[in-house]
Structure 1
Amino acid sequence: MKIIIAGAGEVGFHLAKLLSYESQEITLIDTNKECLAYADTHLDIKVLKGDATSIAILKEARVESSDLLIGVTASETTNITICVLAKQLGAKRTIARISNTEFINHKDEVGFIRFGIDELISPEALAASEIELSLKQSSFNDNYEFEEGALTMAGLTLSKEASFVGKKVKQAAKIFPEIHFVPIAIQRAGTQFTIIPRGDTLFKEGDNVVFVTSEGGAEELCKLTGKENTDIKNVMILGGTQIGYKSARDLSEKGYKVKLLEKNKERAFDIADALPNVLVINTDGRNVDVLDEESLSNMDAFIAVGDNSETNIMSCLVAKSKGVNKSIALVENMDYFELSQSIGIDTLINKKLLAANNIFRYIRKGEVVAMTKLNNMNAELLEFEVKATSAICNKVIKQIEFPRSAIIAGVIRDGVGLIALGGFKIQQGDRVVVCSLLKSIKGVEKLFL
C-alpha cells in the first residue's frame, strides 16, 4: 500500500516505524526538519519537508495515487483540513487524529465522510477507554473487548495456584469441558518468544498467557488461576492531562469515586469546575508524603497519567507498596512493557500503540472490523467479517488449512460470542477473531478475502 503520514511527532513516527517493517510504501510529511532527519536515518521511508495542508506538497507526495492518508499532526483542525484536501485530490481513504471527542460522538450526525474524512481517532479517548476496561477486569494485566464484550481478551501471568499449571492444553480441556475461554498466546517467563498454543502445549508457572473469553469466561478464568477480580470503587488519578481528565469524567459517570491530583493550580480549578463529581486536589502527587496524606492506601486503583513516563511508573510502584490492588501507568517508551511484568505494575497504557492498533485494521486485507497488538508479544488479534466469497465461509474449522502459527480465538454470531472449537462451522456474516504471529498474517488474510 502507498501510505502518506502527515505529522512526524510521536504518533506519526511510531506509525511510520511499524508500517515500514511491513514493507509498505510510506511518505512522511512534516515542517520540522529535525524530526524528518531522524526518521529518514532510522526508517526505510520517504520524507518530505513542508506543510501538508499545501496542495503542492500533497501532489509532490503523489496523493492522487495513495491508498491511505493519515493526519496525525498536533493540531486536529490541521488534520481535518489535510484529510479533506487529500480526499478531493484522489486519496482512497483518510484518517484524522483529533482530541475533541465530541467529533467522534457526533460523527454520523455531522457527516464527516461527506467532507472526505473516513475515520476519526483520538489516542486520548482510546487510552481512557483502555483504563476503564482495565478497572472492570482488574485481575488481568491486558484487556481488549470485541463487540462491546461479546468476546474479551484477557492477559495474565500464571502463578503456581493456577489449576492447569503442569497440564497440557488438551488435558485442561478434558478436565474443564464447560469452560468459556481458550488460550491463544503464551510467552514463557524470561523469553521473548510468543507461542500459539496447540493441544500438546504445556502450561508452566510464570507463563504470560493471553486468553479469549465469552460471557462468564472471565469469572471462570479468575477462579482457575487463583486470581481475584476485585470490585473497584475508589480511584486516584495522578495528572490532569487530557487522558486524566477524560478518565476522571468517564469513571465518575460510571459511579466510581474519583480523586484527581493536579499540581498546576489553574488546570486543577478548571477540571474541578468541569467535573463537580470528581474531588480535584491541587497538589504535587509525585511526593510520597502527599500521597499518604491523600489516603492512597485506601484506594482500590491508582492511575498515573502525567506527562513523565518515569514519574508515572515510580508513582505506581509507590501505590503497590501501599497495598493498592490495581495500578495503571501511562508510558511513552515501548521498552517499558517488558519491564512492567517484572517490577509489578499491573497495566501499562501507550497512546502510540493504541492509535497504531486502531489504524492498522485499515492496512490489513479482508474485512477487518477490529484489531489489537498483544503487549510485549510478536502477535496480533484481528476480528474479520466473513463474506460469501471468503475461503473460510461454510467450512468446519478443523477442515480449514489454517497457518500453524495462528489460531481462531472465537466467533461472534448475531452479537453472541462463542468459543469455536474444531467442529464449529463458519458462516457468512460471522465475525471471527484470530490470533496470529506476524509472519502468518498474510496467510490468514487470504482466508477472509
Structure 2
Amino acid sequence: MHVIIVGAGEVGCNTAEILSREGHDVVVIEADNHKLAHVESLGDIMTIEGSGAHPEALEAAGVKICDLFIAVTNIDEVNIVACLIAKEYGVPTKIARVKSFTSKKNTPALSGTKLGIEMLINPMDTVAYELGNLVVHSKALEVAEFADGRILFVGYPLERDNPVCGLSLTELGDLGMVYPFVVTAITRKEDTIIPRGNTVLMEGDRIFLMVRREDHPSLRYLFGFDKEKNRRILILGGGDVGFKLASQFEREGARVTIADPDQDVCEHLADHLDTSLVLNIGITDVGTLLSEGLAATDVVVSVSDNEETNILAALLAKKNGVPRAISVVNSPAYVQLATTLGIDACISPRLAMATAILKYVRRGGILSIATVEENHAEVLEILIPDSPGVSGKTLREVDFPKGAVVGAIVRADSVELPSGDTVLAAGDRAVVFTVADALADVEKFFEAK
C-alpha cells in the first residue's frame, strides 16, 4: 500500500513508523526539515520537504498511485485542503485530523461525507471517551468495546492479596463456569504471555480479558475489583477533554472538581458546567487542592496540554492519598515511565489517532481495532470469511496463528466466549487479541480466499 502522510508531528511520526514497520510504502511531507530528519531515523520512510497542500509536493510523493492519504498537521484547514486536493487526484481513502471542527456538532457543510473525505478524526474526542471508560471501570488499565458494546476488552493489575493470585487458568476456568470470561494475555514485567491452561497468575501481573458486558460486574467481583464507586472526581486541566469529562461525570451524578490555571478557561467552565466546582489554580498546586478535598478524592484525571505536568500532577495526587490517578501522556517513553512510577493508567492522543487510521490499513474484513501499547498488541474485530480453510471449522481444527487468541465470537443475536469446539461460521465476527509479531498471520488467516 502506498501511503502519504502530511505532517511530521507526533501523530504523523508514530503513524509513519507503524506503517513502515509493517512493510507499506510510506512518504511523509513536512515543511520543517528538522522534523524530517527525525522521520528518516524511524525506518525506511521517504520524506519530502514542502507543503502537503501544494500539488507539486503531492505529485513528488506519488499522489497519483496513493492508496491512503493522511493529513495530520496542527492546522485543520491545511489538512482539509490537502485531502481535497488528494481527492482530485483520485486517491480512494483520505483521512484528516481536525481539532476544532469536530469538537462541536458538525454542520452538514463540514461533514466528511459532504467534503468527500472518508474520515475526520479529532483525537481529543477519542481520548475523552477512553478516559471516561477508565474512570467508570475502577482499577482498569485498558477498556475497549466491541460488537456494538456487547463485548468488553479490559485490562487489570493483579495487586497484592488479589484472590486469583496463585491460581492456574484451568482452576480459574472452573470458576468461569459461573463467571464466563476469556483471559487473552498477561503482561509479566516486560513480557507478554499468551496464556495456556497451566499458566499461573502472579502478583504484579497485568491481565487482559474479554467478557460480555452483562457479565462484567461478576468478573469484577471475582477478581476483587471495583469494590467502591468513583463518586468524587478531580479533573486537572480545563481544555476540551477536561470539559467533556466534567460534563459526562455531572450527568452520571459524580461530585466533580476541575482545575485550570487560565482564568478565561475557568470562566468558560463556570458558565457551561452545572454542578462542578471550578478552581482557577495551577494543576500542581497541592496546597490549594488539599484544602479543596484532594485527600477525599476517589480518582484524579490529569488532562492538560503538557504531558510532563500531567505526570507530575498525577504522582502528587497519588502521594497525597488519592487511590487512582489517570493521565494523558503522548510519548511512548513517558507512558512506560508513568506506569512504572505508580500512575494507574495512561491515555495517548497519538495512539488514539493511529488506532483510528489502522482500520483503513489492515487487510481482510476488519470492523474495529483497539491498540494496547504496553504489550505492542492489537485487538481486532474481524468478519469471518466464507473460506474453505476457515468457515465451518472448529477452533480446534484450524491452525490459528501463534501469538494470537480468539476472545469472542459474535453472531447476529448472541455472543459466545469460545472453546476449542466453537465453530467459525462465515458472516460471524471474531474478536481477536494478537501481538505485533502475529498480526500479519492473523490478517492472512481471515482473508477471503
Report the equivalent of 1:419: 417
Tell me which residue corresponds to 2:313.
315
Q: Which amino acid aligns with 1:315?
A: A
- The answer (yes or no) to whether the contact 2:137–2:226 under 8 Å persists in 1 is no
Shift of 1:109: 8.9
Give matches, 1:206-355, under 5 Å: 206-355=204-353
- The equivalent of 1:169 in structure 2 is 169
* 1:204-239: CA deviation from partner (whole Å, max 9, x where unpaired): 222111111113433233223222353122211111
Question: Which segments of 5 or more consecutive residues in structure 2 lack a partner in the other structure?
Answer: none
Report the counterpart of residue 158 of structure 2 in structure 1. 158
Greater Cα offset, 103-112 or 72-81 = 103-112
Equivalent residue number for residue 140 of structure 2: 140
Tell me: CA distance 1:100–1:147, structure 2 relative to 1, closer, same or farther (3 Å).
Answer: farther
Please state if 1:43 is matched with 2:18: no
Sequence identity (%): 30
Structure 1 match to 2:5 = 5
Query: Match of 2:57?
Result: 57
Q: Which amino acid letter does the alignment assign opposite residue 262 of structure 2?
A: N
Structure 2 residue matching 1:36: 3-state secondary structure: helix
Q: SS at the partner of 1:210?
A: strand
Which residue pairs with 1:86 in the alignment?
86
Using the size of structure 2 for normalisation, the TM-score is 0.93
Q: Residue 139 of structure 1 contacts residue 229 of structure 1 at CA under 8 Å; is this kept in 2?
A: no
Residue identity opposite 2:326 in structure 1:
I
2:367 counterpart (366, 369, 377): 369
1:433 Cα offset (Å): 0.6
**C-alpha separation in 1, matches of 2:348 and 2:296:** 27
The answer for unaligned runs of 5 or more in structure 1 is none
Structure 1 CA distance, aligned partners of 2:41 and 2:151? 42
Does the C-alpha gap of structure 1 residues 416 and 100 become closer, same or farther in structure 2, counting only changes over 3 Å? Answer: farther
Residues 235 and 258, structure 1, Cα contact 8 Å, conserved in 2: yes
Q: Which moved more, 1:139-148 or 1:382-391?
A: 382-391
Match of 1:193 in 2: 191
Q: Map of 1:9-24 to 2, 5 A cutoff?
A: 9-24=9-24
Instruction: Kindly provide the amino acid, as one letter, of the partner of residue 392 in structure 1.
Output: V
Q: 1:220 to 1:161 in 2, by over 3 A?
A: farther
* Deviation of the 1:160 alpha carbon: 4.6
1:127-161 CA distance string (max 9 Å, x none)? 10011100111121221111343111111122353
Contact 2:51 2:57 (8 Å CA) reproduced: yes
Hey, what's the Cα distance between the residues in 2 that align with 1:282 and 1:235? 17
Per-residue CA deviations over 1:346-380 (Å, capped at 9, x if unaligned) read 11111101111111121111111111222310321
Answer yes or no: is the 8 Å Cα contact 1:259–1:280 preserved in 2: yes
Work out the CA distance in 2 between the residues paired with 1:51 and 1:272: 40
Query: One-letter code of the match for 2:179?
Result: I
More displaced 10-residue stretch of structure 1: 35-44 or 118-127: 35-44
Q: Distance in 2 between matches of 1:195 and 1:107?
A: 46
Relative distance call for 1:162 and 1:391 in structure 2 (3 A) is farther
TM-score w.r.t. the length of structure 1 is 0.93
Name whichever of 107-116 and 23-32 sits farther off: 107-116
Query: Match of 2:373, SS?
Result: coil
SS at match of 1:292: helix
**CA drift at 1:389:** 4.3
- Rounded to whole Å, the distance in 2 between the matches of 1:213 and 1:107 is 37
Q: 1:168 to 1:66 in 2, by over 3 A?
A: same
Output the CA distance in 2 between the equivalents of 1:221 and 1:431.
23
User: d(CA) in 1 for partners of 2:415 and 2:231?
Assistant: 28
8 Å contact from structure 2 (residues 377, 434) kept in 1: yes
The residue type equivalent to 2:445 in the other structure is: L
Change (3 A) 1:379 1:217: same
Rate the CA distance shift 1:65–1:254 in 2: closer, same or farther, 3 A.
farther
Partner AA of 2:267 in structure 1: F
